[in-house]
């Protein structure tokens, strides 16, 4: 990739490049919409209106963005250690179990006590689920991509079995636990701030705190430096006296714990019960978020808000333009993921030529 790795001012890498990719994605998506005989401009306007047009819209966008921040950070942290964690989805799913157990059995306690416990449980369960693939990678060299993908399926099977057979509320058909009561209910942010009632909840604040902490950890601690060295070159790391195996395990544990934030936001913050498939694919979208955000917390934040807006705006699009099929909405979302994530570096050489400092 000639010029691909050349240094660029940070605002180009983290803001201008993603924006250009987004514009390209919307252009192609617009052609797709045009091909189905609809106006792309109306569609874009409806999506923007649906994502940011009202207090309610913003609330929903940020609520989805919360999931994306956790997922994006989880992928990003592992990525700095040269690890591709595709198992955030499964780690978050298992974290849901931890959150649900805390909320189901400790809901007699006040919420300010239950919430930190739920966060801890989410982090612990997520890290626990990441531990085995991490150990296998570090000590046995089993490729993390393969093991984390496989662990996703184990997580699905385990959680389905638990929810359908053990945790289900008796006498109902939907596979979900009973709704949480009392201390198990994380109040929405609209209870504290003058906002429209949405599922946006304090998990958003936790996500923002995680962004800051990850930034400090990766760029301002000895551990973060060591991790980046391992990610850039494990052999150089060994030469410098760093033990990669240990860092690999630690980074994966942290990644799994961050993924657990999705469970905190969804299970305790929004759904108030544990249900099948509450992770909704956010763990996988996190890969695109991290790619688009260039694994930097600030980039992850921007990308997370964009994907939150896509989710929310896409849902609203179905209401505003009933003739637009839901599959087309998914296709538009997919195009944005493709261009901003998969083809994220496509335009970079051109930017290097235009802005590069030699």
Partner 1 sequence: MLRTLAAALLAATAALALSPAQAADIKPAILFDNGGKFDKSFNEGVWNGAQAFSKATGVEVRDFEPQNDSQREQALRTFARRGNDPILAVGFSQASSVAAVAKDFPKTHFMIIDGVVDAPNVQSILFHEEQGSYLAGVMAAMASKTGKVGFVGGMDIPLIRRFACGYAQGAKSVNPKEQVFENMTGTTGAAWNDPVRGGELAKSQMEQGADVVFAAAGATGLGVYQAATDAGKLAIGVDSNQNYLHPGHMLTSMVKRVDIATQKAFTDAKAGTFTPGITVLGLKQGGVGVAIDQYNQSLVTPEMKARVEQAASDIKDGKVDVHDYMTDNKCPM
Q: Please report, as ranges, the residues that interact with partner 1 according to CB under 8 A.
A: 56, 60, 160, 164-165, 172-176, 179, 199, 266, 270-271, 273, 275-278, 280-281, 315-316, 318-319, 322, 326, 330
**Which two tokens mark 165?**
């057979």
Phi, psi of 275 (to 5 degrees): -130, 160
- Exposed / middle / buried, residue 209 (Cβ in 10 Å: 0-12, 13-18, 19+): exposed
Which residue bears the tokens 């385990």?
158
Q: Which of 72, 22, 68 is nearest to 47 (CA)?
A: 22
* Residue 171, phi-psi category: left (phi > 0), alpha (psi -120 to 50), beta (remainder): left
Beta bridge partners of 275: 176
* Residue 37, phi-psi category: left (phi > 0), alpha (psi -120 to 50), beta (remainder): left
Q: How far apart are CA 76 and CA 91, in angstroms?
A: 15
Question: Among positive and negative, which fits the CA dihedral 297, 300, 302, 308?
Answer: negative
Reduce the DSSP state of residue 321 to 3 states and report it: coil
DSSP per position, 90-157:
HHHHHHHHHHHHHHHHSTTS-HHHHHHHHHHHHHHHHHHHHHHHHHIIIII---HHHHHHHHHHHHHH
Q: How far is CA 141 from CA 133, 134, 135, 244, 249, in A?
A: 10, 10, 9, 12, 12
CB-CB contact of 115 with 184 (8 Å): no
């Amino acid at each position: 990739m000639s010029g691909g790795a050349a240094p660029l001012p940070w605002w180009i890498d983290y803001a201008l490049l993603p924006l250009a990719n987004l514009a390209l994605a919307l252009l192609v998506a617009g052609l797709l919409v045009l091909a189905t005989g609809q106006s792309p401009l109306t569609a874009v306007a409806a999506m923007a209106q649906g994502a940011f047009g009202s207090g309610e819209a913003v609330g929903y966008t940020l609520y989805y963005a919360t999931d994306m921040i956790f997922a994006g950070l989880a992928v990003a942290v592992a990525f700095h250690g040269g690890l591709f964690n595709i198992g955030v989805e499964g780690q978050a799913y298992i974290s849901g179990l931890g959150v649900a157990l805390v909320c189901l059995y400790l809901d007699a306690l006040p919420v300010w006590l239950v919430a930190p416990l739920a966060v801890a449980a989410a982090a612990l369960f997520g890290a626990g689920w990441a531990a085995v693939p991490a150990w296998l990678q570090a000590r046995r060299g089993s490729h993390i991509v393969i093991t984390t993908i496989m662990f996703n399926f184990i997580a699905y099977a385990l959680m389905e079995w638990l929810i359908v057979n053990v945790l289900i509320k008796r006498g109902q058909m939907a596979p979900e636990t009973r709704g949480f009561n009392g201390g198990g209910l994380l109040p929405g942010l609209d209870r504290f701030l003058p906002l429209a009632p949405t599922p946006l909840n304090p998990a958003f604040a936790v996500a923002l705190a995680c962004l800051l902490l990850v930034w400090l950890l990766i760029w301002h601690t000895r551990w973060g430096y060591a991790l980046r060295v391992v990610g850039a070159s494990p052999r150089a790391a060994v030469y410098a006296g760093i033990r990669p195996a240990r860092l690999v395990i630690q980074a994966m544990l942290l990644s799994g714990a961050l993924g657990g934030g999705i469970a905190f936001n969804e299970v305790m913050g929004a759904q108030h019960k544990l249900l099948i498939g509450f992770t909704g694919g956010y763990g996988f979208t996190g890969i695109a978020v991290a790619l688009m955000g260039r694994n930097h917390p600030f980039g992850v934040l921007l990308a997370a808000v964009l994907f939150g807006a896509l989710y929310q705006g896409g849902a609203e699009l179905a209401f505003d333009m009933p003739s637009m099929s839901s599959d087309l909405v998914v296709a538009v979302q997919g195009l944005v993921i493709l261009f901003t994530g998969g083809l994220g570096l496509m335009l970079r050489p051109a930017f290097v030529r235009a802005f590069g400092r030699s």
